[in-house]
């Protein structure tokens, strides 16, 4: 019988297919490209891959605008290609999970095209329409991508609701027909043999009544009407039942589910297996777009502690929505990337590695607006120009902290086009690929391999408890996982650690498992910039 909690010792790898590997020279990454790299992934040691959306889509929002839930977008290949990927991945013991985008569809989805036709169209109630005028929207709620969350339709004199772009109308989850369609689709993919889903923006499927008043426009205030709103339980319960039937692996992107609520979402009877917290990305970024390590550390510690008793975390440094961690939390150096790797890969939860993170891919040095690809970023840039910002300043502003950095093509080698494509890449390749590529920076990759191995082999790392020390230290990240002691200096200043002031039993013998320097454990440790160590009690 399968171990229900197999994912406790597993490591995931996130693939942004468009930028992973192009197999046919059209400049766009594709499914065959992923198949070509399965041996690479196997060698790295990951247990499953999560694919960002590859469904048929106008690609207004990187595929998060789906026009057909049952079709693979032609640019990625065909359903047959996908089936081959599934078979080959399973052959080498890698599971495959897909993105499940069910808060909204594309405005080009046949349901919406119908829905838009008239007020009495059978599909009208698949979406959220309300009376409006061209001057007055149903309420003052705003969308994540800026501007009103409503778009007025001249023809039917109503407005439809969207928490993201107007090209991504929200589905009406209250409509049982919509739910039935979604559940049918989920079963269809699970029947096909996929191993689970990453649930996109799942905490937004339930909305407050339209007359709900936004109390604060600061922080998370504007999102309160559609973040983890009461009533979402019934939908999550339905979903859970389907996932359980198939033993599907599920990881939720569930902003608004607070750390103290996340246990009940992710414990044995919870809706899903684990949650990506989004707080560590948004906490007090520095003015230059980099993150504050102390703010990051505090968020991580709180999630670890709040979920310790019964919940489960999804651990990550990077994804397709955030700049590269080596530049956000690190200082661009290989040493900083290594320290970051050690700091999060051994925490309690299931770690994810974002493509290229394992060999230190960096942010992109944007010099011209023609290098931008994401539509909402381009729109933001245009808006800033009309506010009289110079082109340079506007570009700086939209690229600081931008998701664009994560989406440049993978730098496989120092060959032409970084070995990503033989054609013209859809997005410019980072000019640093001659030094930063999977063949040149294997030192970092080897560290990831060892960390993955530790997760696979050591029960204390996969299922042990977690206990933090030096909680108020501004940059030292120190924790115990049962008999393991992990210490990382996440900064360039020296860190003095006196373990006599902690509950770490300093009279025990510690074996040095891995580290940036060869150093025995001492009760007083002085960690240089980005120094890290993992010790094991014997
Ligand atoms: O991101 C969604 C997302 O980040 C919000 O749900 C989040 O709750 C909000 O920004 C809180 O700060 C996902 C995808 O990862 C992203 O690429 C898509 O653009 C988006 O959904 C729309 O589908
Ligand atoms: Ca291609």
Per-residue pLDDT of the chain (538 residues; tens, 9 = 90+): 468 899 999 999 999 999 999 999 999 999 999 999 999 999 999 999 999 999 999 999 999 999 999 999 999 999 999 999 999 999 999 999 999 999 999 999 999 999 999 999 999 999 999 999 999 999 999 999 889 999 999 999 999 999 999 999 999 999 999 999 999 999 999 999 999 999 999 999 999 999 999 999 998 999 999 999 999 999 999 999 999 999 999 999 999 999 999 999 999 999 999 999 999 987 656 666 667 899 999 999 999 999 999 999 999 999 999 999 999 999 999 999 999 999 999 999 999 999 999 999 999 999 999 999 999 899 999 999 999 999 999 999 999 989 999 999 999 999 999 999 999 999 999 999 999 999 998 899 999 999 999 999 999 999 999 999 999 999 999 999 999 999 999 999 999 999 999 999 877 789 999 999 999 999 999 999 999 999 999 8
> How far is Cα 304 from Cα 10, in angstroms, rounded to an integer?
17
DSSP-derived secondary structure for 275-297: EE--HHHHS---TTSPPPHHHHH
Query: Which residue has a Cα nearest atom 18 of ligand 1?
Result: 64
Q: Which helix (H) or strand (E) holds 454?
A: helix 442-457
Q: Which of 206, 253, 354 to mutate to test the pocket of ligand 1 (most atoms within 8 A of CB)?
A: 253
Whether the CA torsion 204, 380, 147, 292 is positive or negative: it is positive
Q: Give the ligand 1 atom nearest the CA of 65.
A: 23
Which residue ranges make up each domain of the chain?
6-103+176-362+405-453, 110-161, 365-404, 464-537
Q: Give the ligand 1 atom nearest the CA of 64.
A: 23
- Return the CATH number of the domain spanning residue range 464-537: 2.60.40.1180
> How far is Cα 518 from Cα 533, in angstroms, rounded to an integer?
9
DSSP-derived secondary structure for 397-412: HHHTT-GGGGGSPP--
* Residue from 167, 200, 277, 480 carrying the catalytic annotation: 200
The finding on whether 321 has its CB within 6 A of some atom of ligand 1 is yes
> How far is Cα 498 from Cα 446, in angstroms, rounded to an integer?
30
Query: Which residue has a Cα nearest atom 2 of ligand 1?
Result: 201
Q: Give the ligand 1 atom nearest the CA of 255.
A: 8
Helix 391-399 vs helix 375-386: angle between axes, to the nearest 10 degrees? Answer: 140
Inter-residue contact 9 to 59 (CB < 8 Å): no
The finding on whether 278 has its CB within 6 A of some atom of ligand 1 is yes
The finding on whether 277 has its CB within 6 A of some atom of ligand 1 is no
Those residues whose C-beta lies under 8 Å from the C-beta of residue 213, and which sit 6 or more positions away, are: none
Inter-residue contact 275 to 235 (CB < 8 Å): no
* Domain 110-161 and domain 464-537 have a common topology: no
The finding on whether 504 has its CB within 6 A of some atom of ligand 1 is no
Which ipTM score applies to this complex?
A: 0.95
Inter-residue contact 176 to 184 (CB < 8 Å): no
CA 119 to chain centre: 37
Query: Which residue has a Cα nearest atom 14 of ligand 1?
Result: 200
* Residue from 22, 30, 170, 253 carrying the catalytic annotation: 253
The finding on whether 212 has its CB within 6 A of some atom of ligand 1 is no
Q: Which helix (H) or strand (E) holds 451?
A: helix 442-457
The finding on whether 255 has its CB within 6 A of some atom of ligand 1 is yes
Q: Which CATH class is domain 110-161?
A: alpha beta
Active-site residue 200, yes or no? Answer: yes
CA neighbours within 13 Å on the CB side: how many for 444? 23
Distance from Cα 33 to the centre of ligand 2, integer Å: 8
Residue 242: Cβ-neighbour burial (10 angstroms; 0-12, 13-18, 19+): middle
Query: Which residue has a Cα nearest atom 4 of ligand 1?
Result: 201
What are the residue ranges of helices labelled H in 283-390? 293-306, 325-328, 334-345, 375-386
Q: Which CATH number fits domain 6-103+176-362+405-453: 3.20.20.70, 3.90.550.10, 3.20.20.80, 1.10.1840.10?
A: 3.20.20.80
Residue 413: Cβ-neighbour burial (10 angstroms; 0-12, 13-18, 19+): middle
The finding on whether 535 has its CB within 6 A of some atom of ligand 1 is no
Count other Cβ atoms within 10 Å, centred on residue 398. 24
Distance from Cα 207 to the centre of ligand 1, integer Å: 16
Among candidate residues 123, 212, 108, 225, the one with its CA nearest the CA of residue 169:
108
């Amino acid at each position: 019988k399968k171990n229900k909690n197999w994912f406790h010792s597993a490591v995931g790898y996130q693939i942004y297919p468009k930028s992973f590997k192009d197999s046919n020279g059209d400049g766009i990454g594709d499914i065959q490209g992923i198949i070509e790299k399965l041996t690479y992934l196997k060698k790295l040691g990951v247990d499953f891959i999560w694919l960002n959306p590859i469904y048929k889509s106008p690609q207004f929002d990187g595929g998060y605008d789906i026009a057909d839930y049952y079709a693979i977008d032609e640019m990625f290949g065909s359903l047959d290609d996908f089936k081959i990927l599934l078979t080959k991945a399973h052959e080498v013991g890698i599971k495959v999970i897909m993105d499940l985008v069910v808060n909204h569809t594309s405005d080009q989805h046949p349901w919406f095209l119908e829905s838009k036709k008239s007020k009495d169209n059978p599909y009208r109630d698949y979406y959220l329409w309300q009376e409006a005028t061209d001057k007055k929207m149903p309420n003052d709620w705003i969308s994540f991508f800026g501007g009103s969350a409503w778009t007025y339709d001249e023809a039917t004199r109503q407005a439809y609701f969207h928490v993201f772009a107007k090209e991504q109308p929200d589905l009406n989850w209250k409509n049982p027909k919509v739910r039935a369609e979604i559940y049918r689709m989920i079963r269809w993919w699970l029947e096909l043999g996929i191993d689970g889903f990453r649930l996109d923006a799942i905490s937004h499927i339930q909305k407050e009544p339209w007359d709900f008043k936004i109390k604060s426009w600061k922080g998370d205030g504007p999102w309160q009407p559609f973040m983890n709103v009461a009533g979402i339980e019934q939908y999550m319960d339905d979903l859970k039942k389907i996932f359980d039937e198939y033993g599907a692996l599920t990881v939720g992107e569930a902003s608004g589910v607070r750390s103290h609520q996340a246990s009940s979402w992710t414990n044995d009877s919870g809706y899903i297996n684990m949650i990506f917290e989004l707080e560590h990305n948004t906490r007090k970024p520095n003015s230059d777009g980099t993150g504050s390590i102390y703010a990051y550390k505090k968020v991580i510690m709180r999630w670890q502690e709040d979920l310790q008793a019964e919940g489960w975390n999804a651990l990550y440094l990077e994804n397709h929505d955030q700049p590269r961690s080596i530049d956000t939390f690190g200082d661009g150096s290989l040493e900083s990337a290594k320290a970051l790797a050690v700091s999060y890969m051994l925490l309690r939860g299931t770690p994810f590695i974002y493509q290229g993170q394992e060999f230190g891919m960096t942010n992109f040095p944007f010099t011209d607006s023609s290098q931008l690809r994401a539509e909402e970023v381009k729109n933001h840039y245009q808006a800033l120009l009309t506010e009289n910002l110079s082109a340079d300043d506007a570009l700086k502003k939209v690229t600081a902290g931008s998701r664009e950095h994560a989406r440049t093509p993978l730098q496989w080698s120092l060959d032409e086009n970084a070995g990503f494509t033989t054609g013209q890449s859809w997005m410019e390749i980072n000019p640093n690929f001659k030094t930063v590529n999977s063949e040149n920076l294997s030192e970092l990759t080897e560290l990831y391999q060892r960390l993955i191995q530790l997760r696979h082999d050591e029960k204390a790392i996969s299922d042990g408890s977690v206990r933090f020390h030096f909680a108020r230290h501004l940059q030292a990240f120190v924790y115990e996982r049962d008999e393991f002691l992990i210490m990382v200096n996440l900064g360039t200043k020296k860190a003095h650690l006196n373990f006599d002031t902690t509950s770490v039993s300093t009279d025990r013998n510690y074996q040095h498992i891995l580290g940036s320097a060869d150093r025995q454990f001492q009760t007083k440790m002085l960690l240089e910039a980005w120094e890290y160590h993992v010790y094991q009690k014997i």
